[in-house]
């Protein structure tokens, strides 16, 4: 006599979910301090395409380049604690859009700042984390300093696993206090000194829905208060408050036969400046023999313009910004990540191409001549002291 | 890729680890961690070792004071409770006392009186336990984790290998197996399931992907009296050997789940057992008393 199908696996389900409470099956899920010290170094380069001469006064111009070097250390300390230190050095140079003017033909063109910007930024971040049976909690302090900007940020986060170990609840709060002291140089700035505070909260839940699949959801709220204007951009006048909401969802699925995992992520963003955006990320993590992993990925991003975005200024506007980052546009980026593990070492290579266009977006708006395309590439090396 | 094999003795039998690693240097630490894990569980749960937690729990039976336990033991008791419930009481951690009446080397059956004296000591429902303590309410009662600890140890040793960065390995604790990853270029670890009588012959060959394979068999340890086979798997309510299947192998996500399922099948009457296995939805193989092979892996 056969039992109905639903009941069929009830025993297996009961045994499995009860077995998974045993410590041997929880190692993979969480929450033990790292066993070994890990160190990593990474170098990456961000390189904006030259702006086309038809979009800028004074002909084509080189844009921004950023060289980034990063150091990472994660070490177990005492019982159930870990400490992580992250240091990043950035060297930024090149020109960025200063303001948008009207050309003789009536189309907006960008006036570039000239090769006047040269800045370095150093960021030091320390995180201490406590691991307990069913989760972990971390405290982070980050200090960032560049010629014209200092930032101090503190964040607290925690993750808690359900009794069956299949669901993880996470939350984080962070606060940062930034001081802006624009460098007085070849271009005039619109403030001499200003402050900005950013506070945000985040909650998330992820659940292992089967042996091979995981879903996650997140919600965040960020409140910015203070000088939110770009000090180097012409007549930029922005509200001194910004309230942002974001919701995200993700799905991971592991496939046995190709030995690969599919990642699909979506994020919705909305703020009280009338900016809305959608981001879709798709990645395929392919494991290959000899401990190689190659991950092609593609991302689509589309954004609604801020209510005070205009290419051309009118003094009657209460608020005004010609910053392309607040315009309506769509962007595609695609790239490849490559990882190879050998013994206690692993090497990571990645390259990404980002291209943007007003017509690729789902929201229409004035096209900014300042929209940027860029390349990003990086190389990293990690070592575990076993 | 290097293939490394390491054999050792543990859990009362021959044990073997098979690993695929980049360098043998990294494998040594991993192997040491896996072997240590098997030893840890043996020292903690063996009923033969006087200092084990199991022996301490059993010695405290009926003395009025509960024995403190850790989270792992509480989870193991909780698991045993689930198996007991799912098997309608056939799988019972307290049924080990019945072995006192059965000496499989002597070639004789115990008198019914002997069994009658022991049967009142069997009864999982009487065990008092929670997250922090366990207590056996009657002098002479015993817990025996033998029915699940070897399988759990296989899974736990495999988890240790994974924590040490090993991506493909097979842990084999005297026939109870747990696998992480698969050998390069294959879809699983090739495993021969031995025939219960002609040991050199495989009844079936399977490829074990990540997960566990456990077998429960009754052929090796049994007594035959007047042509009647008496196996070592005892019914918790009668005290007599179950006249069920001769061998069961099951493949599951965890060796522990495979092992408990195989034990439940062995405790059921043969007809019921085959139906139950059929409905379980896991790959299985069973051999009945007439040595007929059944199952999806046959």
Contacts of B159 in chain A (CB under 8 A): 24-25, 27-28
Whether the complex's predicted ipTM is more than 0.95 is answered with no
Q: How far apart are CA A127 and CA A131, in angstroms?
A: 13
Confidence of residue A209 (pLDDT cuts 50, 70, 90): confident
pLDDT at A27: 55
Interface test with A, best of B71, B76, B86 (most A CBs within 10 A): B86
Contacts of B178 in chain A (CB under 8 A): none
pLDDT tens string, chain B, 298 residues long: the values are 788 999 999 998 899 999 988 777 678 888 999 999 999 999 999 998 999 999 999 999 999 999 999 989 999 999 999 999 999 999 999 999 998 888 777 777 888 998 999 999 999 999 999 988 999 999 999 999 988 999 999 999 999 998 887 889 999 999 999 999 888 888 899 998 888 777 778 888 899 988 999 998 876 667 777 777 777 788 999 999 888 899 999 999 999 999 999 999 999 999 999 999 999 989 999 999 888 999 998 8
Instruction: Kindly report the three-state secondary structure assignment for every residue of chain B.
Output: CEEEEEEEEECCEEEEEEEEECCHHHHHHHHHHHHHHHHHHHHHHCCCCCCCHHHHHHHCCCCCCCEECCHHHHHHHHHHHHHHHHCCCCCCCCHHHHHHCCCCCCCCCCCHHHHHHHHHHCCHHHCEECCCEEECCCCCCCCCHHHCHHHHHHHHHHHHHHHCCCCEEEEEECCEEEEECCCCCCCCEEEEEECCCCCCCEEEEEEECCEEEEEEECCCCEEEECCEEEECCECCCCCCECCCCCEEEEEECCHHHHHHHHHHHHHCCHHHHHHHHHHHCCCEEEECCCCCEECCCC
Mean pLDDT score across all residues of chain A: 87
* Residue of B254, B255, B262, B273 to mutate when probing chain A, most A C-beta within 10 A: B254
Nearest to A15 among B86, B162, B163 (CB): B86
- The conformation of residue A184, written as its DSSP 8-state character, comes to -
Structural domains of chain A, with CATH? 124-385 (2.40.160.40)
CB count within 10 Å of CB B123 equals 18
Domain map of chain B by residue range?
A: 1-47+144-185, 61-140, 187-298
What gap in Å lies between CA B42 and CA B36, rounded to an integer? 10
Answer whether A290 sits within 8 Å of B280, measured CB to CB. Answer: no
> What's the rounded Cα separation, in Å, for the pair A219 and A200?
11
CB contact under 8 A, B76 and A22: yes
Q: How far are the Cα atoms of A7, A14, A203, B7, B284 from residue B79, in angstroms, in the given order?
A: 20, 9, 32, 29, 22
Measured between alpha carbons, how far is residue A260 from residues A256, A336, B164 in Å?
7, 15, 22
> Which of B42, B29, B254, B41 lies closest to B6 in space, CA to CA?
B29
Distance from CA of B262 to the nearest CA of A (A): 12
> Helix, strand, coil: what percent of chain A each, to 5?
10, 60, 30
Please give the pLDDT value at position A58: 65
- φ/ψ region of A267 (left if φ > 0, alpha if ψ in -120 to 50, else beta) reads beta
SS3 of residue A44 by DSSP: strand
At A30, is the pLDDT very low, low, confident or very high (cuts 50, 70, 90)? Answer: very low
**What's the distance, Cα to Cα, between the start and end of chain B in Å?**
32
Of A1, A16, A27, the CB nearest to B253: A16
Indicate whether A115 pLDDT > 60: no
pTM: 0.62
Facing residue for B71 by CB, picked from A20, A133, A256: A133
CATH superfamily ID and name for B61-140? ApbE-like superfamily (1.10.3980.10)
* CA–CA distance, B251 with B256 (Å, rounded to integer): 10
Contact B257 A12 (CB under 8 A): yes
A15–B1: do the CB atoms touch at under 8 Å?
Answer: no
Higher pLDDT, A298 or B290: A298
In sequence order, the β-bridge partners of residue B215 are: B249
Query: How far apart, in whole angstroms, are the C-alpha atoms of residue B209 and residue B72?
Result: 26
Of B29, B167, B257, Cβ closest to residue A15: B257
Phi, psi of B123, rounded to the nearest 5 degrees: 160, 90
* Distance in Å from the first CA to the final CA of chain A: 55
Which residues of chain B are within 8 Å of residue A166 when distances are taken between CB atoms? none
Residue pair A263/A296 in contact (Cβ under 8 Å)? The answer is no
Nearest-by-Cβ selection for A18 from B82, B279, B281: B82
Q: Using CB atoms, which residue from B82, B155, B167 is nearest to A15?
A: B82
Classified as helix, coil or strand, A291 is: helix
Where does the pLDDT of residue A374 fall: very low under 50, low under 70, confident under 90, or very high at 90 and above? very high
Q: How far apart are CA A373 and CA A63, in angstroms?
A: 10
Query: What does the pLDDT read at residue A8?
Result: 45
Is residue A225's pLDDT more than 80?
A: yes
Across the interface, do B281 and A12 touch by the CB < 8 Å criterion?
Answer: yes
Confidence at residue A138, expressed as pLDDT on a 0 to 100 scale:
96
Best residue in A11, A163, A344, A345 for a mutation probing chain B (most B CBs within 10 Å) = A11
Residue A210 has pLDDT above 80, yes or no: no
- CATH number of the B187-298 domain: 3.10.520.10
pLDDT tens for each residue of A2-18: 444 444 478 888 898 88
Tell me the CA distances in angstroms from A322 to A76, A113, A249, A311, one per residue in order: 48, 14, 32, 5
- Would residue A226 be called left, alpha or beta, if left means φ above 0 and alpha means ψ between -120 and 50 degrees? left
- Structural contact between residues A56 and A109, judged by C-beta atoms closer than 8 angstroms: yes
Minimum mean pLDDT range among A95-109, A221-235, B140-154, B162-176: A95-109
């Amino acid at each position: 006599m056969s039992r109905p199908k639903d009941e069929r696996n009830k025993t297996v389900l009961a045994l499995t979910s009860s077995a998974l409470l045993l410590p041997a099956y929880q190692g993979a899920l969480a929450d033990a301090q790292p066993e070994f010290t890990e160190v990593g170094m990474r170098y990456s380069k961000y390189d904006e395409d030259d702006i086309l001469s038809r979009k800028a006064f004074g002909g084509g111009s080189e844009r921004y380049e950023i060289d980034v070097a990063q150091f990472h250390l994660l070490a177990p300390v005492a019982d159930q604690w870990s400490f992580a230190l992250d240091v990043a050095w950035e060297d930024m140079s090149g020109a960025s859009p200063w303001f948008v003017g009207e050309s003789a033909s009536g189309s907006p063109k960008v006036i570039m700042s000239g090769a006047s910007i040269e800045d370095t930024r150093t960021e030091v971040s320390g995180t201490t984390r406590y691991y307990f049976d069913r989760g972990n909690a971390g405290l982070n302090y980050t200090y960032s300093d560049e010629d014209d900007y200092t930032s101090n940020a503190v964040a607290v986060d925690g993750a808690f696993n359900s009794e069956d170990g299949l669901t993880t609840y996470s939350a984080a709060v962070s606060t940062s206090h930034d001081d802006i002291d624009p460098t007085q140089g070849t271009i005039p700035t619109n403030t001499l000194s200003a402050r900005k505070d950013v506070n945000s909260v985040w909650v998330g839940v992820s659940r292992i829905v089967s042996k091979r699949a995981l879903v996650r959801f997140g919600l965040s709220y960020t409140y910015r208060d203070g000088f939110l204007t770009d000090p180097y951009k012409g007549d930029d006048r922005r509200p001194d408050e910004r309230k942002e909401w974001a919701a995200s969802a993700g799905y991971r699925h592991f496939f046995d036969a190709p030995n690969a995992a599919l990642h699909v992520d979506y994020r919705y963003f909305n703020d009280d400046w009338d900016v809305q955006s959608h981001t879709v990320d798709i990645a395929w993590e392919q494991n290959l023999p000899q401990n190689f992993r190659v991950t092609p990925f593609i991302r689509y991003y589309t954004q609604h313009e801020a209510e005070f975005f205009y290419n051309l200024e009118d003094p009657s506007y209460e608020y005004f910004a010609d910053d392309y980052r607040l315009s309506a546009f769509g962007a595609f980026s695609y790239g490849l990540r490559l990882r190879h593990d050998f013994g206690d070492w692993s090497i990571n290579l990645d390259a990404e191409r980002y291209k943007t266009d007003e017509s690729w977006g789902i929201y229409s708006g004035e096209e900014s001549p300042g929209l940027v395309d860029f390349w990003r590439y990086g190389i990293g090396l990690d070592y575990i002291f076993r | 890729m290097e293939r490394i094999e390491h054999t050792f003795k543990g859990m009362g039998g021959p044990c073997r680890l098979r690993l695929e690693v980049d360098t043998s240097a990294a494998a040594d630490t991993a192997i040491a961690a896996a072997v240590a894990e098997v030893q840890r569980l043996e020292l903690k749960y063996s009923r033969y070792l006087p200092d084990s937690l199991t022996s301490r729990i059993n010695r405290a039976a009926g003395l009025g004071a509960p024995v403190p336990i850790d989270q792992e033991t509480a989870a193991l008791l909780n698991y045993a409770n689930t198996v007991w419930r799912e098997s309608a009481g056939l799988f019972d951690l307290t049924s080990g006392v019945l072995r006192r009446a059965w000496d499989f080397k002597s070639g004789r059956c115990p008198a019914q009186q002997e069994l009658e004296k022991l049967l009142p000591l069997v009864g999982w429902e009487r065990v008092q336990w929670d997250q922090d303590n366990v207590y056996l309410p009657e002098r002479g009662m015993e817990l025996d984790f033998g029915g699940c600890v070897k399988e759990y140890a296989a899974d736990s040793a495999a988890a240790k290998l994974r924590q040490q960065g090993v991506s493909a390995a097979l842990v084999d604790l005297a026939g109870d197996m747990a696998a992480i990853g698969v050998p390069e270029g294959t879809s699983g670890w090739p495993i021969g399931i031995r025939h219960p009588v002609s040991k050199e012959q495989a009844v079936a060959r399977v490829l074990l992907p990540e997960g566990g394979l456990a077998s429960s068999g009754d052929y090796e340890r049994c007594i035959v009296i007047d042509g009647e086979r008496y196996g070592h798997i005892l019914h918790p309510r009668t005290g007599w050997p179950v006249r069920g299947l001769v061998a069961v192998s099951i493949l599951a996500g965890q060796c522990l789940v495979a092992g408990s399922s195989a034990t439940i099948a062995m405790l059921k009457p043969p007809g019921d057992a085959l139906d139950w296995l059929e409905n379980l939805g896991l790959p299985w193989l069973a051999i009945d008393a007439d040595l007929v092979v059944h199952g999806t892996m046959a």
